[in-house]
A and B are shown apart, each in its own frame.
Chain A
Amino acid sequence: MSTKTARLQEERYVGGLKWSVWKRMFSFLSPYKRFMVGLVLVALLQAGLEAAFPLVTRGIIDHAVQNRIHAHLLPWILMYALLSIMLCAGTWAFIRLAAVISTNVSHDIRRAGFRKLQELPFSYYDRRSVGWLITRLTSDCDRLSRFIAWSGMDFIWGVAMLLGIGAVMLYLNWRLALIVMTIIPPMAWLSLIFQKRILATSRKVRRINSNITASYSESIMGVRTTKTLVREEENLREFSSLTNDMFTSSVRNALLQSMYFPIVVSLGSVGTGLVLWRGGVEVMSALPSSMSIGTLLAFISYSGAFIGPIRELAMLLAESQNAQAAAERITGLLEITPEIKDSPEVIEAVERNTARGLPAGVAIDGREDKIETIEFRNVSFAYKQGKEVLKDFNLTVRSGQSIALVGPTGGGKTTIVNLLCRFYEPSSGQVLINGVDYRKRPLQWLQSNIGVVLQTPHLFDDTIYENIRYGNLQADDRQVEWAAKLVNAHDFIMNLENGYDTRIGEGGNKLSTGQKQLVCLARAVLADPQIFIMDEATSSVDTETEQLIQQGLMNVLKGRISFIIAHRLSTIKSADQILIIENGKIVERGTHAELIRLKGEYYDLYINQFSQERQRRIFAECFPQEQCPEP
């Protein structure tokens, strides 16, 4: 949706450091304090060690030059070996600690995010695509935890390293040190500018890349259309403009990178040059206080050692923008409070009653468990302010009744169901259960008493057995089978290669839509809900399965309150009450016979829509089961 993209853009990073966001993120670090302390210590140690290395080199040289033949290099070499081993051990510990922290933080954020997603209202899902949410919990989490653990440590290391080198140089020769340090500000400034640009271009490259991928998938999915419209050349032309953009941006990105390094290295060599010149003059001055050759060499190594930490720090600063954007999106998710939740009174009632133990027939909040009546009283609802999809809706249903909701798409049928399940709450008016506003009953109680079968049946990537058992996790094999038999699913399941242990491929691809509906029905039966809601599939299933579903459905409906968004003639006809819903209002209500006599909307609908259904049946009768597959 265009509004969706607009909102996503809105959610993009908008300048400035947001402390509250980071505070929330750093709270995820608190369980790992010990590791953090270790990590900081190791980072400081690393910086110290790295700064000390040139000193050893200096020692060896000076020692060799001064003592000549009598030089004892062994202690120096041992010192070098010791430092090396410590440094490597430090590297080892550093990576391990950072790994522990980053993987755990990422894991914890993901867990919290997932938990949150289970609680959020559907209105949240309506506004965001699944892909968007997945990205939040995968790449954003990873990026953020990497940033916190690694970049944070790189920061400490970089700063410590800079300070360490600076201190050592100042100690060795403060005049020369100050001269060398003049290269730091321009280097830092250039690094920051370049890293920011590099990051921006690589983001652009990624964006174009995802467009290219989308183009490929479009061209593959629409290949027949492309061929029939003879669009091959034009499509390629449009695509090449995309690859041209890609070319330009990637090359720009590469150019920035290949420009950055030489510039920084050249700046570093300015440092080396300065050292050689001023240091050389000092060495040659032959004063007693003059500098040794070893010191000069040490200075030369130090002058190049700035590059690493400065680059790291610059990258960190550039990356911090991205990381903050990721952090904002995640905190945005974590800090939403669900709009629909139990009121304090309800929570209190549930606690009081569950603690006391529940007698039979009493719900967790101490009220009656059996649902006798459901009443919609003057209910209005709008998903978006000002656009009412349901207006002043009134309906009373008694135990055992079935209601067929009929009408055009967008008329409000699904909204009625959503309100009944309390996925949304009425904007005005009330929904009453046994005469009590359902906002005064626990959400969990209501929803576990409702069984829903959706138009596009959703099954999990697991065995059929597990999918049915989803309705009631306590059910055993016998009960699962009983449910399957009740809805006529048992036979087709037994005909599958592995019976109940057949795995359903992703999205349930191995089963036909009709079969999937049967499995969903079995799942709903096992849950044994008091209220049953079904959104009938519009797509035609083969007649045999359709009859199986029909019979299965009848078995399910017995003794329950049911709401069916109905498309099939037989279902509609057998309903206790048919509601024709249009523009958020009931236009007609009654039984099939009553409505036909009325010769109104239902009558027209019946002629237009259901005559087709009959024609389909004739087809099926004339051509029984001898069908060739279309590709």
Chain B
Amino acid sequence: MYAGAIAAMVLSAITMFLPPLIARTAIDYVIVGKQLNAPGFIRGFIQWAGGRDLLVHNLWIASLTIVAISAISGVFAYLKGRWASIASETIARRLRNRLYDHLQHLPCSYHDKVDTGDLVQRCSSDVDTIRTFLASRVVEIGRGGIMLAVALPIMLAMNAWMAFLATMLLGPIIFFSIIFFVRIKNVFKQMRQAEGSMTATLQENLTGIRVVRAFARQDFECEKFAVKNALYRDRWRRLMHIMSWFWSLSSLLCMMQVGIVLLAGGYYVSRAEMSVGTFSAFFMFVNMYLWPLRRVGRIMADLGRSVVSISRVNDILDAKREDHEDGPAIIPHMTTPIRGQIVFENVSFSYDGHREVLRDVSFHVEPGQTLAILGPSGSGKTTLIYLLLRLYDYQKGSIRLDGKELRLLDRKFIRSQIGVVLQDPFLYSKSIRDNIKLGRSTATEKEMIKAASTAHVHAAIEDFDSGYDTIVGERGVTLSGGQRQRVALARAILKDPPILILDDALSNVDTRTENLILNALKRESPSNKGQRTTLVIAHRLSTLMAADKIIVLDAGRIVQSGTHETLLNQPGLYRRLWNVQSSFDEQLGCYAEQSDRTSDNEEYPDEY
């Protein structure tokens, strides 16, 4: 495609130079009546057609030729633009898709390290810088170069000395332009900085408008903004003022170049050393190639930026995808669903290589069982889930799924077997229907509604103006925490996986509803196979009690494990929680009997 674009560019440049030549021939040969100074075959053709006389009486032929040739040149120019844009847009599209795909396949450890804003910027504005450069700047450079390359031999053939004069100032013009744009880079940056800081102040003010009002600080804020606003104005004006020097001085240089051509041409014509037609051709040529050359500096500056952008984009593409990350052979294509047996054996894990977040964790869950995990925040509960999903890879010990080492299983296969609802679930900015159907895109409307009902969110969704078609997320309705959790749960239920993980997934749902949901989940076992294995991270006793097995995590270690009964008979967190719950009811009883005395200062009168 690029080859086509280049060919079209060369042809359009060549044909562009023809009209001045034809005009010159017409003036010199036909109108003034000089010897025809043209290649033999053209002379022969004109002689054969009827010589000068024919043209004298039918000058329109020359005119028509000019129009025809410029039309042809236009076609080439169009083709050039077409192919160049298709080529650059194809590259941009490929780059965008590749980046998107790559980002999704980068390991979580990569995403933990990088800043979202920076990543987005690399994917959008850096790609755009590259695209613009390919689409227009490359073409511009090529055009300028080719124009000169075509014009130079023609001019040399017409009059060598004059050709030299006509290109005399090109060097200085290009030099000036490059120097200028290198110099101005800083001024540009300062302007952008001032703009950024002004926008930041504006944003801060608008997001904190309630604070501003509450303290009646409008005037103070206006002054603060005025400073930034004025700075931005001044920097901007400074940039423009510098630009005014560039445009006027470079114009002057260009006009000097034209002036030289005029002076020399006039001189040669007056000595009859050059024909009027040649002179006018020179004049037109100079105007054609001269003015675009002023932009060389700008193009060079853009080139610098594009190189930086390319390396920034490459930084992302060079990062290893998680499927290529490390190498033990993967058990090829597992297609049958797993039964759901999970075994952790002496698993240790650390995010940064120093501090272990999980230490020597061992437990096992049989298919169909429910395991509850209890522990304070930061104890490693969520990390445990991440390891099971192979979002991170464990460093020591062994995790087995149905007896197969997790590290040897394909990540996507594992994830397809596990449904997970996180505490702060992410919903895409799509309709609620689409969000739930992400669990299984082939599900029918009925199945989807059933999943939503199991998650106790159907009624809430129906209450929205557009029901299941309500768009959620940034560009739509903001759901409450509990609603988001329940929609995410419906999504996981619809997925119908052999293993279901609820990571504090109902923390924003009230206890009554939570129990209803859990009971409904229990009743409804997976469609095709026996019982579903469930992992629940929770703080509520009612949830914990219902589990077949409970483990208590603290600082990455399992400190207690067993059933509800066994844990109740051991001293520890679980029993204390249980005791609090029961003493709570007694305490309320006390209140009821208390007289008018308020409970005031004592914060927790019933603690141990």
**Interfacial chain B residues near A235, Cβ < 8 Å:** 100, 104
Residue contacts A-B, CB under 8 angstroms, 22 given? A2-B471, A64-B266, A71-B266, A91-B248, A115-B222, A118-B212, A122-B209, A125-B209, A220-B120, A223-B108, A246-B96, A250-B89, A262-B71, A262-B73, A270-B67, A276-B63, A611-B581, A615-B581, A619-B376, A626-B554, A628-B357, A628-B556
With the chains together, A266 CA to B16 CA distance in Å? 10
A-B contact count (CB 8 A): 466
Q: Of A67, A216, A244, A265, which is within 8 A of B124 by CB?
A: A216
The answer to whether the Cβ of B523 comes within 8 Å of any Cβ in the partner chain is: no
B379–A623 touching, CB < 8 Å: yes
Asked if A212 meets B124 with Cβ closer than 8 Å, knowing A71-B270, A107-B230, A225-B426, the reply is yes
| Chain B neighbourhood of A274, CB < 8 A | 63
* Residue in A217, A272, A284, A619 whose CB lies within 8 Å of B120: A217
CB-based nearest A residue for B108: A224
Hey, what's the 0/1 contact readout for B81-114 against A, CB within 8 Å counting as 1? 1101110011011001101110111101001100
Binds B, one of A20-28, A451-459, A579-587: A451-459
- Whether A2 contacts B466 by the Cβ 8 Å rule is yes
A501 in the interface (beta carbon within 8 A): no
What does the 1/0 interface line of B375-396 toward A look like (CB < 8 Å)?
1111110110000010100000
Interface size on A, residues (CB 8 A): 162
A56, A224, A251, A409: the one contacting B85 at CB < 8 Å is A251
State how many angstroms separate the Cβ of B498 from the closest Cβ of chain A. 14
- The answer to the question of B565 belonging to the interface, with a C-beta cut-off of 8 Å to chain A, is no
The count of chain B contact residues (Cβ–Cβ below 8 Å) is 179
Is residue A9 contacting chain B, with contact meaning CB distance below 8 A? no
B128, B262, B541, B592: the one contacting A209 at CB < 8 Å is B128
Is there a chain B Cβ closer than 8 Å to A396's Cβ?
no
Q: Is the CB of A220 within 8 A of B111?
A: yes
Q: Which residues of B contact A358 (CB under 8 A)?
A: none
Q: How far is the CA of A77 from the CA of B230 in the complex (A)?
A: 45
Residues on B with C-beta less than 8 A from A273 are 60, 62-64, 66-67
Q: Is the CB of B221 within 8 A of A87?
A: no
Given A73-B267, A243-B93, A272 contacting B415 (CB threshold 8 A):
no
B77 interface hit (Cβ, 8 Å): yes
Give chain A interface residues in 293-321, CB to chain B under 8 Å.
293, 296-297, 300
The reply to whether A96 and B229 form a contact with Cβ atoms under 8 Å apart is no
CB distance from B232 to the nearest CB of A (A): 8
The segment from A190-198, A366-374, A476-484, A589-597 that touches chain B is: A589-597
Asked if residues B555 and A626 are in contact (CB atoms below 8 Å), the reply is: yes
A137 contacts B by Cβ under 8 Å = yes
Query: Contacts A258-B78, A280-B27, A618-B580 given: A627-B63 contact, CB under 8 Å?
Result: no
The answer, yes or no, to whether A123 is at the interface (CB within 8 Å) is: no
A448 at the interface (CB under 8 A from B): yes
Given pairs A92-B244, A273-B66, A628-B555, 15 additional interface contacts (CB within 8 A): A64-B266, A88-B251, A95-B248, A98-B240, A107-B230, A118-B218, A119-B218, A218-B473, A223-B111, A232-B104, A251-B86, A458-B210, A614-B604, A619-B539, A622-B573
A114 and B276 contacting across the interface, CB-CB below 8 Å: no
Residue among A76, A110, A114 facing the most chain B CB atoms (10 A cut-off) = A114
For residues 47 through 71 of chain A, which have their beta carbon under 8 Å from a beta carbon of chain B? 56-57, 60-61, 63-65, 67-69, 71
Distance, CA A617 to CA B577, complexed state (A) = 10
Query: Are the C-beta atoms of B466 and A110 separated by less than 8 Å?
Result: no
Residue of A64, A230, A454 near B211 (CB, 8 A) is A454
B97 adjacent to A221 (CB under 8 Å): no
The residue on B at minimum CB distance from A460 is B204
A62 to chain B, nearest CB (A): 10
Tell me if A385 counts as interface (CB < 8 A to partner B): no
Q: Please give the distance in Å from B69's CB to the nearest CB on chain A.
A: 8
Residue of A nearest to B323 (CB): A232
Stretch at the interface among A78-86, A433-441, A490-498: A78-86
Chain A residues lying within 8 Å of B474, measured Cβ to Cβ, are 214
Known: A273-B67, A622-B573. A448 touches B216 (CB 8 A): yes
Does A130 lie within 8 Å of B240, measured CB to CB?
Answer: no
A110 contact set on B, CB distance < 8 A: 229
- Which residues from chain B contact A153 at a C-beta distance below 8 Å? none
**With A213-B120, A630-B382 as contacts: A226 and B30 at CB distance below 8 Å:** no
Which residues of chain A are within 8 angstroms of B389 by Cβ–Cβ distance? Answer: 227-228
- Inter-chain contact A107/B222, CB cutoff 8 Å: no
Q: B207 near A228 (CB under 8 angstroms)?
A: no
Asked if B204 and A461 sit within 8 Å, CB to CB, the answer is yes
B438 at interface (Cβ–Cβ under 8 A)? Answer: yes
Q: Using Cβ atoms and an 8 Å threshold, which residues of chain B touch A246?
A: 89, 92-93, 96
**Residue contact B202 to A231, C-beta cutoff 8 Å:** no
Establish whether residues B210 and A215, one from each chain, have CB atoms under 8 Å apart when the complex forms: no
Known: A246-B93, A273-B67. A224 touches B204 (CB 8 A): no
How far in angstroms is the closest Cβ of chain B from A365? 15
Which listed residue (A2, A130, A265) contacts B203, Cβ 8 A? A130
